C-alpha cells in the first residue's frame, strides 16, 4: 500500500489530499453561459423528481428531448450490419476515410435528397448537425454577429457565446449582448422579420422549426434569401426536420430557393429521419460559389475545419446512410415519420381539447402550446406537469426569452406512451 512507501507516499498523498489548482485562466466565454445546456438540465430535473418520488419512476413518460424511440427499420439496419461485416474481411476492411465522407454517399445525398440542385463536392458528411453547427462557428470565429430566431434551438446561441461573439447575458431581457434576437411568435407566423432587425453576419434559421414546429413557406424563404443577399449575410439553414414536411409546396431545402447558393449553408442530419440519434450521421452543404468578403471560398475554410478537426464519419454508419437513400430505405423513413406525425396529431388534439392554442405538429415532430398566464410561466408548467402527470416536457423559456409562455412537446415517444400522456395531461389541466 502507498502508506508504506516513504517519501514517494508523501508526494502522492500531499497531492491527493490538498488537490492542485492549475494556473490556467478559465475561458471567459464559458463563464458567460447562463446555465447548463438545456437538455441535460431537463434530465437533471427529471432525475431529481424521481429521487424524491422513487415510486413514480416507472410512470415517467418523456415528451421532452426530441429523441427517437422506434427501432431502425430492416433495410436501413442491413446497411449498418453490412458496413460492420465488411470490416471483418480482407477485401472489405477500411481505415480512415475521406474527411468529407465517402464519395458514393455524397453523390447519393446530392441526388436523392437534393435532386442534384447541389453537387456532391459541396456535401460534407459528418457525425451530426449539432456538431456541424459548432464547426461552422469555429470557421466564422469570434468577430461575427449572429442572428437567431427567438425562441430557437439552443445550440446556435450557446456556441456563439462559447466562441466569444457575445457579451454577457442581460439578466432583465435574458438576451446576450451582440446577438440579434429575431422574435418569432404566433403574430408573425413564427417567421422572423429580419428586415426590421439590425444586420447580422450570420443568420441561423431552422425550418421546420425547433421548437415552434412552424415550417417556412416558399415566399418566406424567398424573402429571407433576398434579404441576406442585399445585406451580405450568410444564412445557416437547419433542415434537420425536413422529412416531416407534409404540406404541399413547403421547401425541404433552402437550395430550392433561387439565389440561395450565393448566401446559404445547409446543415442536416439522419438522426430524425431514420432513428440515427445514437448512430450519429449528418451532413452540411457548403455551396462552391459561397464567398467571404475578401473573395475566399467558404467551402475551403469549412474543408480546413473538417480535415483538421474531424476524421470522417464512421464507415459503418456511412453504410447505414447509403441504405437510407435506397428506395427501400426512403420508404422505411416515410413510414417512421408517419408514425411520429400521428403522435403529434394526438398531442395537438389533446391541447385543443384542453382549450390552449396549439402550434406546429403538422410538418414537424414538435407541438408548441401557448400557456395561459394563470400557469405562471413555462418552467412552472414544466414542474406542474412533472409533479401531477409524470410527463416530461420542455419549457419554452429554455429556447430563449421569446419561448416564455409556451411549452414544447416532442412526438418521438412510443405511441402507447403518447396516448397515456395525453390522458394524464387532460387530467392535470382540468
* DSSP 8-state class, residue 340: H
- Indicate the SS3 state at residue 98: coil
Tell me the β-bridge partners of 116: none
**Residue 191 or 366: which CB sits closer to ligand MLT?**
366
- How far, in whole angstroms, is CA 143 from its chain's centroid? 24
**Residue 320 or 403: which CB sits closer to ligand MLT?**
403
Long-range contacts of 412-416 (CB under 8 A, 24+ apart): 412/66, 412/67, 412/68, 412/69, 412/272, 412/340, 412/343, 412/365, 413/61, 413/62, 413/63, 413/69, 413/343, 414/69, 414/70, 415/339, 415/342, 415/343, 415/346
Q: Which residues contact 361 (CB under 8 A, 6 or more apart)?
A: 213, 341, 344, 345, 347, 348, 367, 368, 411
Distance CA 310, CA 331 (A): 31
Tell me the β-bridge partners of 269: 282
Q: Name the minimum Å distance from CB 39 to ligand MLT.
A: 6
Cell of 357: 392554442
Counting Cα atoms < 13 Å in the Cβ hemisphere of 113 gives: 34
Distance CA 430, CA 426 (A): 6
Tell me the β-bridge partners of 169: 176
Residue pair 118/252 in contact (Cβ under 8 Å)? The answer is no
**Residue 66 or 243: which CB sits closer to ligand MLT?**
66
Tell me the β-bridge partners of 367: 360, 409
Cell of 108: 447519393
**Residue 166 or 210: which CB sits closer to ligand MLT?**
210
Residues contributing to the site for ligand MLT (CB under 6 A): 39, 65-66, 130, 153, 210
Q: Name the minimum Å distance from CB 128 to ligand MLT.
A: 8
**Residue 292 or 379: which CB sits closer to ligand MLT?**
379
Q: Name the minimum Å distance from CB 197 to ligand MLT.
A: 24
In 27-72, beta strands by DSSP E: 61-62
Q: Name the minimum Å distance from CB 90 to ligand MLT.
A: 38
Q: Name the minimum Å distance from CB 411 to ligand MLT.
A: 11
Residue pair 160/137 in contact (Cβ under 8 Å)? The answer is yes
Cell of 149: 430566431
Closest CA relative to residue 70, chosen from 272, 330, 349: 272
In 365-413, beta strands by DSSP E: 366-370, 391-392, 394-395, 406-410
**Residue 39 or 49: which CB sits closer to ligand MLT?**
39
Q: Name the minimum Å distance from CB 104 to ligand MLT.
A: 26
Q: Which residues contact 352 (CB under 8 A, 6 or more apart)?
A: 358
Helix residue ranges per DSSP H, 390-428: 415-428
Amino acid at each position: 500500500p502507498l502508506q508504506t512507501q516513504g517519501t514517494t507516499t508523501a508526494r502522492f498523498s500531499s497531492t491527493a489530499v490538498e488537490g492542485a489548482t492549475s494556473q490556467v485562466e478559465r475561458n471567459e466565454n464559458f463563464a458567460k453561459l447562463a446555465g447548463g445546456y438545456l437538455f441535460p438540465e431537463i434530465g437533471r430535473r427529471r432525475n431529481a423528481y424521481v429521487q424524491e418520488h422513487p415510486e413514480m419512476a416507472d410512470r415517467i413518460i418523456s415528451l421532452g428531448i426530441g429523441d427517437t424511440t422506434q427501432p431502425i427499420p430492416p433495410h436501413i439496419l442491413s446497411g449498418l450490419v453490412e458496413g460492420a461485416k465488411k470490416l471483418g474481411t480482407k477485401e472489405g476492411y477500411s481505415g480512415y476515410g475521406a474527411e468529407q465522407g465517402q464519395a458514393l454517399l455524397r453523390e447519393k445525398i446530392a441526388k436523392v435528397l437534393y435532386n442534384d440542385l447541389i453537387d456532391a463536392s459541396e456535401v460534407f458528411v459528418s457525425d451530426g448537425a449539432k456538431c456541424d453547427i459548432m464547426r461552422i462557428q469555429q470557421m466564422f470565429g469570434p468577430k461575427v454577429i449572429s442572428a437567431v430566431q427567438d425562441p430557437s434551438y439552443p445550440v446556435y446561441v450557446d456556441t456563439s457565446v462559447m466562441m466569444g461573439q457575445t457579451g454577457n447575458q442581460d439578466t432583465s431581457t435574458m438576451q446576450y449582448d451582440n446577438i440579434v434576437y429575431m422574435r418569432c411568435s404566433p403574430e408573425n407566423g413564427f417567421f422572423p422579420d429580419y428586415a426590421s432587425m439590425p444586420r447580422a453576419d450570420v443568420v441561423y434559421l431552422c425550418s421546420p422549426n425547433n421548437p415552434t414546429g412552424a415550417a417556412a413557406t416558399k415566399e418566406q424563404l424567398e424573402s429571407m434569401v433576398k434579404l441576406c443577399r442585399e445585406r451580405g449575410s450568410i444564412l445557416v439553414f437547419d433542415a434537420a426536420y425536413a422529412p416531416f414536411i407534409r404540406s404541399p409546396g413547403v421547401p425541404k431545402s433552402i437550395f430550392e430557393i433561387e439565389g440561395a447558393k450565393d448566401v446559404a449553408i445547409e446543415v442536416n442530419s439522419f438522426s430524425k429521419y431514420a432513428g440515427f440519434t445514437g448512430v450519429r450521421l449528418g451532413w452540411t452543404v457548403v455551396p462552391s460559389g459561397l464567398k467571404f468578403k475578401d473573395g475566399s471560398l467558404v467551402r475551403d475554410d469549412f474543408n480546413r475545419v473538417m480535415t483538421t478537426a474531424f476524421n470522417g464519419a464512421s464507415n459503418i454508419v456511412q453504410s447505414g446512410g447509403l441504405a437510407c437513400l435506397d428506395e427501400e430505405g426512403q420508404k422505411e423513413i416515410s413510414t417512421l415519420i408517419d408514425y411520429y406525425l400521428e403522435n403529434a396529431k394526438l398531442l395537438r388534439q389533446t391541447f385543443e381539447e384542453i382549450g390552449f392554442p396549439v402550434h406546429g405538429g403538422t410538418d414537424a415532430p414538435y407541438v408548441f402550446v401557448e400557456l395561459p398566464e394563470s400557469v405562471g410561466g413555462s418552467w412552472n408548467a414544466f414542474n406542474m406537469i412533472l409533479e401531477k402527470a409524470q410527463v416530461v416536457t420542455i419549457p419554452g423559456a429554455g429556447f430563449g426569452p421569446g419561448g416564455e409562455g409556451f411549452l414544447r412537446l416532442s412526438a418521438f415517444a412510443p405511441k402507447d406512451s403518447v396516448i397515456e400522456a395525453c390522458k394524464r395531461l387532460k387530467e392535470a389541466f382540468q
